[in-house]
Structure 1
Amino acid sequence: MTKLYPLIDSVIRIMLTIVFFYIFKHFMNVQNDLLLAFVSVLCGFVAFRGLVFLFNKLTAKKQE
């Protein structure tokens, strides 16, 4: 099961990146898709780390 976690992490990050890319593309008029992709990857990474942090905080409180 521990070998499956990196795969799940990667799939979630890819999905977040795609979601942010299309949200930004819809709401912003940006001609440079490469810049939009970079911002999407950055936002996806921050969102993923934030979700992991919140999940760890919530599960740690339940164990106490």
Structure 2
Amino acid sequence: VVANRIASDADLEAITDVLGDHEIVVVPDDPMIARADAEGLAAIDLDENAPGVRAIIAISERFAALAA
């Protein structure tokens, strides 16, 4: 399960309470992604080291490894 735009431990805890034992991968709430969207840019092009971008890259790498 991908938990998107998680802003706090309380957000993650609320999701964990509902989903129980499912693996949860977190994409943090990241103002850089919102800024990139507002500017019509890919977030990775604006700041490849932003926390949200790094989380999305990690998720894509996990999916790529599963497909290999």
Q: Give the structure-2-normalised TM-score.
A: 0.34
Greater helix proportion = 1
TM-score by length of 1: 0.36
Higher CA-based Rg: 1
Instruction: Name the one with the larger strand percent.
Output: 2
